[in-house]
Each structure stands twice: as structure tokens, then as C-alpha cells.
């Protein structure tokens, strides 16, 4: 009999370990829902330590560019802790994948913390006006607005976007970075990016 893993349980394990959502779900499935065994499983893979590494200083890395069909250009800085890791194929591949993703997905911000508060408030006002039109939504307006705001961040913020090369569209960019932190053993930070499109005003 297959064990059903709830999304809340996956989220709880993710918050506890810092591992990606897909890895957490896999660990819970393998451990038949046993939370402690799932943590042990992630620790064995080195994924549970990624969150601890995220607090360490990252001042090395790469500045990379990506040009698509001479129409779209991306300039991106991704940092790590040492020059040694910056020169690895794994790190270079990650930077290339993120630059390609930016070209395709066109994020406006790096993270939801970078979205100006006035824009967030404007979005909330729009969502509240939409939701208030239906009498069925009375009492759950705030919950619906928060859900819509999460989707807004998922559309507009690089770290919250679903990685374009993930066919199931479940792996977020921040989870992709976390997986590389676990694999390479160093903190990795997407520092900044700029995207140019031919004929588009900045």
C-alpha cells in the first residue's frame, strides 16, 4: 500500500532541513511517512546541511552572459565561497541554466523582498476587488488574496519561478540553488541580473 504524503508534511520537512520540495517528498515517500527517517535520508544525501551553508559569506563566483538569437541578452552574477568551486563544471552549468531561465522567463525581481511595497499593495487591492465580487468568498478573502499574491511572486520573482528546464514545473530556482549548495558544499547566492530585449525600453 502506497503512503500518501501531504503537502503540509513536505513543507514542514523542507523548513526543518532546507532541502528542496521534491527531495523532501521523495525522502518522506522512501521513509513511508516517518519524519525522522526522512531527515536521516536527506542528511545522508547531504541535502539537510544546505540551509546551514546559506548563512556563510559568498564573495567568489562568476559574471556570465547569455545571448539568445541576437534578440535577448542576459548578464548575471552568481556568487560562491571559493574560486575552486567557481571553476567547476557543476557551478558553471548552474550559472548557465539560470541565465537561460532569465532569458526565457523574464523575471522582474530577484526575490519577493525586492518587490516595492507600493506594488504589493496595489496588487492586493486589485485581488480584493476581484474576490469581493463573489458572495461565496465572504470570510476567506484574505486567504484568497494571499494565494494570488504567492502566484504573483511566482510569476515575477526569479527565485520563486519554476525552473524552465524542469518539465513538471515544480522545481523553483531557489530549490535548484539549494540542491547545488548541498552538492558542492558551499553557499551559493544569485547576486544580481539584468535582461535586455531588442527594442525594449529599460
Distance of CA 169 to the CA centre of its chain: 11
Q: Give residue-wise pLDDT tens across range 130-179.
A: 877 776 666 677 788 888 999 999 999 999 999 999 887 788 999 899 88
Residue ranges and CATH numbers for the domains of the chain are 7-48 (1.10.8.10), 60-111+157-197 (3.30.479.20), 116-147 (no CATH)
Beta carbons of 202 and 75 less than 8 angstroms apart: no
Q: Give residue-wise pLDDT tens across range 51-98.
A: 666 666 677 899 999 999 989 999 999 999 999 999 999 999 999 999
Q: Give residue-wise pLDDT tens across range 97-121.
A: 999 999 999 999 999 899 999 999 9
The pTM score is 0.70
Tell me the three cell numbers of residue 28.
518522506
Judged against a pLDDT cut of 90, whether residue 22 lies above it is answered with no
Q: Which residue has the cell 525600453?
A: 201
Amino acid at each position: 500500500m502506497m503512503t500518501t504524503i501531504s503537502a503540509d508534511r513536505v513543507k514542514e520537512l523542507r523548513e526543518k532541513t532546507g532541502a528542496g520540495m521534491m527531495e523532501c517528498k521523495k525522502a518522506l515517500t522512501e521513509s513511508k511517512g516517518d519524519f525522522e527517517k526522512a531527515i536521516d535520508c536527506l542528511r545522508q544525501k547531504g541535502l539537510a546541511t544546505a540551509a546551514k551553508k546559506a548563512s556563510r559569506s559568498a564573495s567568489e563566483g562568476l559574471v556570465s552572459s547569455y545571448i539568445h538569437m541576437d534578440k535577448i541578452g542576459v548578464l548575471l552574477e552568481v556568487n560562491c565561497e571559493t574560486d575552486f568551486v567557481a571553476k567547476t563544471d557543476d557551478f558553471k552549468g548552474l550559472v548557465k541554466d539560470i541565465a537561460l531561465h532569465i532569458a526565457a522567463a523574464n523575471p522582474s525581481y530577484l526575490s519577493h523582498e525586492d518587490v516595492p511595497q507600493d506594488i504589493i499593495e496595489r496588487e492586493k487591492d486589485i485581488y480584493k476587488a476581484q474576490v469581493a465580487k463573489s458572495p461565496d468568498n465572504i470570510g476567506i478573502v484574505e486567504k484568497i488574496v494571499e494565494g494570488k499574491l504567492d502566484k504573483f511572486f511566482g510569476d515575477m520573482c526569479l527565485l520563486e519561478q519554476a525552473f524552465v528546464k524542469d518539465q513538471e514545473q515544480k522545481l523553483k530556482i531557489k530549490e535548484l540553488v539549494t540542491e547545488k549548495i548541498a552538492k558542492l558544499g558551499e553557499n551559493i547566492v544569485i547576486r544580481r541580473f539584468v535582461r535586455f530585449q531588442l527594442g525594449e525600453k529599460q
